[in-house]
């Protein structure tokens, strides 16, 4: 088989941390005196921490000084980390471990490509950190998704051309970043929301057994 590699988004693909982000952001919105709903939280998926705060403040029509913003970014993250520190392997999303096992069996390497600055900690909490040949997280990029930077660095860590990389993503911005990087994009979640992806699945349990050996290989190498 010709060489391909995989890049995984973390939040919403391997673990569901969106629920913890929601609780921490909602607490801040409560403090600032406006309502923050789960629908609002959807807007923050795949978006950096700083950008998330800006979106949240727009929702509440609240203006803050840069100093106050810094203060809330720190307190939100401290609150979020209280949940993360309680996470364990039981929070790995269905199908993720089996998919990594299958990739190991096929000799296909994988890296992480996440906007989260907490990505290494989260992977350690769920005992997956050592399985990745590289981690690209919110600390290693200067441009957030939908900019392709995070995935292009991932391709370098895999020592592969971008067009030989397959990206698993649950966020619109992430699918766009993968497409802009000239990679194969796999949308995990609602097909209508992630309509720009090359392939769509509701979750990782739906990936067919021959997906990498047949479907992806043919798409990449058979022109």
Strand ranges for 88-215 from DSSP E = 110-113, 134-136, 165-169, 184-188, 199-201
Phi/psi for 115 (5° steps) reads: -80, -10
Residue 176: name its binding partner from ligand G6P, Mg ion, none (Cβ under 5 to 8 Å by kind): none
Q: Which range of residues in 27-35, 46-54, 177-185, 214-222 is near ligand G6P by CB under 6 A? A: 46-54
Question: Nearest-CA neighbor of 170 among 154, 150, 190, 144?
Answer: 190
Q: CA-to-CA distance for 151 and 169, rounded, in angstroms? A: 11
Write each residue from 32 to 51 as x if it is in contact with Mg ion (CB under 5 A), else as -, in one continuous string: --------------x-----
Residue 117: name its binding partner from Mg ion, ligand G6P, none (Cβ under 5 to 8 Å by kind): ligand G6P
Q: Report residue 69 as tokens.
A: 């913003």
Select 108 or 167, whichever has its Cβ closest to Mg ion: 167
Q: CA-to-CA distance for 172 and 160, rounded, in angstroms? A: 24
Tell me, yes or no, if 30 is annotated catalytic.
no
Q: Is the peptide bond preceding residue 5 cis, with omega within 30 degrees of 0?
A: no
CA R_g for the chain: 18
Check binding of 187 to ligand G6P (CB under 6 A): no
| Residue 193 CB contacts under 8 Å (≥ 6 apart), including other chains | 172, 187
Select 177 or 183, whichever has its Cβ closest to ligand G6P: 177
Tell me, yes or no, if 9 is annotated catalytic.
yes
Q: Which range of residues in 40-48, 61-69, 127-135, 160-168 is near ligand G6P by CB under 6 A? A: 40-48
Size of the site for Mg ion (CB under 5 A): 6
Check binding of 12 to Mg ion (CB under 5 A): yes
Interface with Mg ion (CB under 5 A): 9, 11-12, 46, 170-171
Interface with ligand G6P (CB under 6 A): 11, 21, 44-49, 52, 77, 114-118, 138
């Amino acid at each position: 088989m010709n060489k391909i590699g995989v890049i995984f988004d973390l939040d919403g693909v391997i673990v569901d941390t969106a629920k913890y982000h929601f609780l921490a952001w909602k607490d801040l919105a409560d403090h600032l005196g406006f309502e923050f709903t789960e629908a609002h939280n959807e807007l923050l998926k795949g978006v950096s921490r700083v950008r998330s705060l800006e979106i949240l403040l727009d929702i509440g029509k609240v203006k803050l000084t840069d100093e106050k913003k810094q203060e809330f970014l720190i307190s939100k993250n401290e609150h979020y980390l209280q949940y993360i520190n309680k996470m364990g392997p039981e929070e790995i999303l269905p199908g993720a471990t089996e998919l990594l096992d299958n990739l190991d069996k096929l000799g296909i390497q994988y890296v992480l490509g996440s906007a989260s600055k907490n990505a290494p900690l989260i992977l350690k909490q769920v005992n997956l950190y050592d399985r990745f040949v590289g981690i690209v997280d919110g600390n290693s990029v200067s441009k957030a998704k939908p900019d392709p930077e995070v995935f292009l660095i991932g391709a370098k860590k895999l020592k592969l051309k971008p067009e030989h990389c397959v990206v698993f993503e649950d966020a619109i911005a992430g699918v766009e970043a993968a497409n802009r990087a000239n990679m194969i994009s796999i949308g995990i979640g609602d097909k209508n929301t992630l309509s720009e992806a090359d392939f769509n699945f509701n979750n990782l349990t739906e990936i067919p057994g021959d997906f990498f050996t047949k479907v992806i290989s043919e798409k990449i190498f058979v022109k």
